Amino acid sequence: MFELFVAGGFTMWPLLLLSAAMVGIVLERFWSLRRTTVLPGGLTAEVVTLVRGRRIDAEHIEALRRHSPLGRVLGTVLAERHRPHEYLVARVEDAGRQVVHGLSRWLNSLGTIAIIAPMLGLLGTVSGMIRMFLVITEVGVGDANRLAGGIGEALLSTAFGLIVAIPAYIFHRYLRGRVHDYALDLAREANQVMEALEAGTTTAAPSTPPARAPR
């Protein structure tokens, strides 16, 4: 196996580094994007209970923001609950964008690996073909072993580049889709809390006595 790796030429080493980076990013993202980490079950219901019971204070909000990505968004809802509705929505959307940006960490790097790996494989192909033509120029087509070295470099580097690029592209698309789904879920959970706040405000608003008919 190591002999095949070496026969692939100089591009095999950067491809090996890219493959290691790909594996590291994929494992880290799968761990960080667990649903129980991003959207803990029951958290929204607990926040709605706090809202209805009017037991919201600064400590609750700070603890909520440190709890999880969902907690960060819901903490923003509670912190800005006394603001006008348009301002509240804008602040929640901004918090949501920041959370989604954090969830997308390293995904651009993974996409870059998916693009660069086949290019490095192609570079190895070109290098192997150049090597083969130099052999033909030097000794003609009679030295099959030296010709095979150039052909082997071309084929091995191309194959290894695709072996790295294809999984990188698949995981990149899958993880981006998961982040997109989380973004929709975050928006839905935030809307539930805002609706609870609006319902509580409406209930707490003092009723205006009906106007008396003039005598």
The pLDDT mean for the chain works out to: 85
Instruction: Give the containing element (helix H, strand E) for 132.
Output: helix 107-139
Tens of pLDDT, residues 142-159: 555 666 666 777 788 889
What type of residue sits at position 118? P
Q: Could you tell me which residue, 74 or 145, shows the higher pLDDT?
A: 74
What integer is the mean pLDDT of 91-107? 94
pLDDT reported for residue 202: 52
> Is residue 103 one of the residues assigned to a domain?
yes
Query: What number is the average pLDDT over the span 1-28?
Result: 87
Which residue in the block uniquely carries the two structure tokens 């008396």? 212
Residue 199 has pLDDT above 60, yes or no: yes
pLDDT of residue 142: 59
Q: Quickly state the pLDDT bin for 139 (edges 50, 70, 90).
A: low
Contacts of 9 (CB under 8 A, 6+ apart): 124, 127, 128, 153, 156, 157
DSSP three-state, residue 198:
helix
Residue 206 domain-assigned (yes or no): no
| Within a domain: 78 | yes
Domain count for the chain: 1
Percentage of the chain lying above the pLDDT 90 cut: 53
Give the separation between CA 109 and CA 105, rounded to whole angstroms: 8
- Tokens (6 digits) for 146: 């030296």
Structural domain for 165, as ranges:
2-200
Instruction: Give 163-166's long-range contacts (Cβ < 8 A, gap of 24+).
Output: 163/19, 164/15, 164/18, 164/19, 164/22, 164/113, 164/117, 165/113, 165/114, 165/115, 165/117, 165/118, 165/121
